[in-house]
Amino acid sequence: MAAGGGREGAASIHYTPRVTAGAVSADLVIPAADPAVLREICAWDGFRPATFASSDFPVDVVRFDGSASRPVIVSRARRAETLKALPASLRQRTEAAFARAAAPHAALRLANGRSIDLSRGPAVMGIVNVTPDSFSDGGVHFDRGRAVEAALRMLDEGAAVVDVGGESTRPRNYGDARELPADEEIARVVPVVAGIRARSAAPISVDTRKAAVARAALAAGADLVNDVTGGRYDPGLLEAAAGAGAGAILMHMRGTDPRTMQDDVRYDHPLADIAGVLAEAAARAVDAGVAPDAVALDPGLGFGKSPDGNLALLRHLAAFRTLGFPIAAGASRKGFVRRFSGVEEDAGNAERLPGSLAAMAAAASAGAILLRVHDVAESVRYLRMARAIASPSAETAATTRASVR
């Protein structure tokens, strides 16, 4: 996990997605730890899986995008045997999918010679909404000075990057968000980006759908563009990012308008449909000139998803690693978090925090490597503790040995 803002270096050797223009595979490896999860996955493709012994689990369901071939179920205990029995073309696709899913991402390349270090686990992205009408914190950071101070505090608390947004993308159930003209959005965002850059060398992201806003923010010192429409609202945004050498986080949402994204939340396949859109977004970014190792993908929790659909995404978020890019996720304070954690619609942010941390933990354990949050200090501490439990360092191992003697 990124433990401090302003760390710009990254490992000199790291995995770079092997992407040629126009070619990003949407084949998926979907892990299943037990028979119930396996049945859920197979039901989406309309078939019942064969009975597997308990010793065969965990298994992986390999789904071939655009193919008439039924998904292949591969027991990790017998992977080599299963792959050998496949036709050559499917075996090659399966091996490539497994390789992409397992590939590490040590850094996300940004503009201005910066990068986000991903080598030590998930990096936290602090949310700075310079809006009067965002769903959970509208107006809190609408003042430029307060927004800059909030961003600097988040970096001190351990955020690896801060994400500055000037246009609300809240769903309609919180009231229609007003679509801003680019010049108004620029007037909100650019002074904040410039104010942060004047006082910190840490990575800065701009959350926008518009090429003009992206260009202005990048000129003011931003290093990364976070687009909730994945470059579909304004295709010029990807060219703007490429021209600045910036990173790009490309998210999935239904349509390109937050006011209508919840009108239809049905999917033929809740993972494959989203993966296909994200693969196309990544291909468009690379075609536009964005470096493959500067692209991250976000399945878009809460953006055109039903409450249960958001839970399914969190359960199976690991599948999106097969796309071959770092995965970002943001569940912080969202409506489904409130609903399933059992707090009221008008609950304060403190009441939403436990559910937000649980959703963040699920995303991190599934392999999401960029975690977008409002509550930076609490999120960083949670991830620090989880990492300490899962991966004892030499220092903690020595302490344990001493205490046992």
Residue whose C-alpha is closest to residue 190's, from 170, 208, 174, 172: 208
120: which 2 tokens? 């030590």
Q: Which of 372, 384, 387, 405 is catalytic?
A: 372
CA distance 225 to 87: 41
- The alpha carbon of residue 398 and the mean position of all alpha carbons in its chain are separated, in whole angstroms, by 35
210 assigned to active site: no
CA distances 381 to 122, 144, 361, Å, are 12, 28, 12
Residues 6+ apart with CB under 8 A from 151: 126, 128, 162, 164, 192, 196, 200, 204
What type of residue is 216? A
> Residue 188: which of 206, 202, 204, 171 has the closest Cα?
206
- Report in angstroms the alpha-carbon separations of 105 from 31, 326, 389: 19, 6, 22
Reading the block at residue 340, the tokens are 């399933």
Give the count of beta carbons closer than 10 Å to the beta carbon of residue 101. Answer: 22
| DSSP strand pairing (370-373 vs 123-129) | parallel
Question: E strands, 274-369, where?
Answer: 295-298, 328-329
Per-residue H/E/C for 73-137: EEEHHHHHHHHHHCCHHHHHHHHHHHHHHHCCCCEEECCCCCEEECCCCCEEEEEEECCCCCCCC
Helices and strands in the chain: count of H runs, count of E runs? 13, 13
State yes or no: is 334 an active-site residue: yes
- Say which of 114, 305, 334, 338 is annotated catalytic: 334
Q: Give me the residues paired with residue 127 across strands.
A: 163
Residue 229 and residue 140 in contact, taking contact as beta carbons nearer than 8 Å: no
Return the active site residues: 334, 372
